[in-house]
Chain A
Amino acid sequence: MTANASGHAGGASLEFRGVTKRYDSGTTTPGAVNDLSFEVPAGAICVLVGPSGCGKTTSLKMVNRLIEPSGGEILLDGVNVQSQPVTALRRRIGYVIQQVGLFPHLTIGRNVAVVPGLEGWPKERQLARTRELLTLVGLDPDRYDGRYPSQLSGGERQRVGVARALAADPPLMLMDEPFAAVDPIVRSHLQDEFLRLQRELAKTILFVTHDVDEAIKMGDLIAVMAEGGHLAQFGPPDEILAHPASEFVARFVGADRGLKRLSLRTVADVDVVPIGRPDGLPNLPPETSLRDALSILLVADTRGGVALDEAGRSRGLVTVDAIACALADELPSEARRT
């Protein structure tokens, strides 16, 4: 566990070692997990993705022991979770679920302070922490502290869910389809906000989704799971999109995996032809994804656009060919976390 600049506890490393979960009715039962092994370094977001019934939620729930594995071990900072008292373990693992599960009878402030309350923090410290967290997730504490969950929108509730999971500053967060219940616009907004938050907090996060696009957007690492609870492929998003390990993974990530790879890169990553500022070509700010840049060029019916730098000055010409060439190089796995 490392402390980072902002004084938060940072993340813990997480390792699955031959983790198996069998149900009585056989290994093909939905939710079964078969010999799952992978390692998530401290501070990384690892996304478990796969079709329904592939065991991704089971895998997540074995970390905080809501489900006990039939075999193998899960190590949190090198210590087997099964060797730790279950309530103490759960209180230092943040838990966010799709339906949020806020307590309807408690105010937003008291919902956020649940784990500090269980841990017996003094009242003033709980209050200060609650205000800090509500501010962190973008909810004005003065407006929201005394409300009840039923008075909030779905997006607001999900933010409270994240604040509640962060309350005791856990080194690990488990997030089970946390943004699946809100509409696409709110979802994309929550995802962006969460990534921004994570850059500061550097928690270790295990994230479950069935949505490949969400996995690619959120994950530093992706574990693609197949039916029967097998790990089909594990690696950074760009590697999985560039080199699917099997027919199953290729089909699961989709025929547009090339375009998905483009969405991992921005105009700033691409080589340009250094020319002045040609008239009539679309301007492409540096943070534009290459997928969007390509689309802009196609819509404008040109073969090139002007790459801008941070200050809005021309950096040179970006061509459709240069965008295509950008896929030749694989992204270093750390690139997206800066």
Chain B
Amino acid sequence: MNGEPLIRWDWLSEHLGPILGRVEQHLYLAVIAVVIGFVISFALAAVSIRRRRLYPFVTLFATAVYTIPSYALFAALVVATGLSIVTAEVPLIVYTFILLVPNIVAGFDSVPQDVLDAADGMGYTAGRRWWQVELPLAVPLVVAGLRLATVSTIGLVTVSAILGDNFGGLGYYILDGYHRHFPTEILVGGLLSIALAVLADVGFVLLQRLLTPWAAARSAAR
């Protein structure tokens, strides 16, 4: 990289279109992973809450898949599903379990027993109690889990660039810049990926405030 400047602004201005395209792809890959990961995690958490004895096994499963290095998992999946979106998404999805499942379980565990007793005593049906009492009170911890999972997934999307030009989002520039010894690309890919993660994080904080006005009231009261 001798003589090469850290950032070549002319390259940046010439590639604004493709960069935006990569940002879009990055978000696309991350959102699919978090949405599917959340649905599966919610089901795993629901099973763990009803059958407490299964929870250690669910946790063990989530931890076990998390220990697999992402490169190894991508490589192994190529054998089965080729260079497809499935290969790109499966690792991203399974890595969310360890962040989402414990948070969802903790969210529902955090609903105070006296509140549940009062709800039963006042004549809530089971379904209505879940929807109007348990779910809203679990929201703070569930959203905290989503926040972690989203930030972590946005970072991880870059690794899927090893599956070729059709994947990786901003990771494409990191990998390409590395091969071509072109720091501008590495910086653009890395910094924009970080920026996306920070924006997502701030977004979830705002969402949290919007969904739980009572929590803000509590901190104001103390």
Contact = CB atoms under 8 A, between A and B. Distances in A.
Interface of A: 64, 66, 86-91, 93, 95, 97-106, 114-115, 118, 147-148, 150-151, 164, 174
Given A87-B125, A89-B123, 7 more contacts: A90-B120, A93-B121, A95-B121, A101-B121, A102-B118, A103-B119, A151-B221
B190 interface: no
Contact of A118 (B124, B137, B217): B124
Contact of B122 (A98, A100, A114): A114
Contact of B217 (A98, A103, A115, A148): A148
A93 B123 CA distance: 9
A187 B121 CA distance: 23
7 contacts: A95-B121, A99-B112, A105-B137, A106-B214, A148-B217, A151-B220, A151-B221
A174 B118 CA distance: 11
B218 interface: yes
Contacts of A87: 123-125
Interface in B104-147: 112, 114-115, 117-125, 128, 133, 136-137
A148 B218 contact: yes
B212 interface: yes
Nearest to B219: A150
Contacts of A104: 112, 115, 137, 214, 218
A177 to B, nearest CB: 12
Query: Which 4 A-B pairs give the minimum distances between C-beta atoms?
Result: A101-B118, A90-B123, A95-B121, A99-B114
A100 B137 contact: no
Contacts of A148: 213-214, 217-218, 221
- Which of A89, A98, A99 has the most chain B CB within a 10 Å cutoff? A99
Given A103-B115, A150-B214, A115 B122 contact: yes
A97 B114 contact: yes
Contacts of B128: 118
Contacts of B124: 87, 118
A64 B112 CA distance: 21
Given A88-B123, A95-B122, A100 B114 contact: yes
A147 B212 CA distance: 14
Contacts of B213: 148
B144 to A, nearest CB: 16
Nearest to B137: A105
Contacts of A102: 115, 118
B122 A90 contact: yes
Contact of B218 (A100, A114, A150): A150
Given A90-B123, A91-B123, A151 B114 contact: no
- Which of A90, A93, A103 has the most chain B CB within a 10 Å cutoff? A103
Nearest to B126: A87
Contacts of A99: 112, 114
A14 B222 CA distance: 43
A101 B120 CA distance: 11
Nearest to A64: B121
Contacts of A89: 123
A337 to B, nearest CB: 27
Given A115-B123, A151-B217, A151-B221, A105 B136 contact: yes
A69 B43 CA distance: 35
B212 A101 contact: no
B19 to A, nearest CB: 42
B214 A105 contact: yes
A99 B116 CA distance: 11
Contacts of A97: 114, 117-118, 121
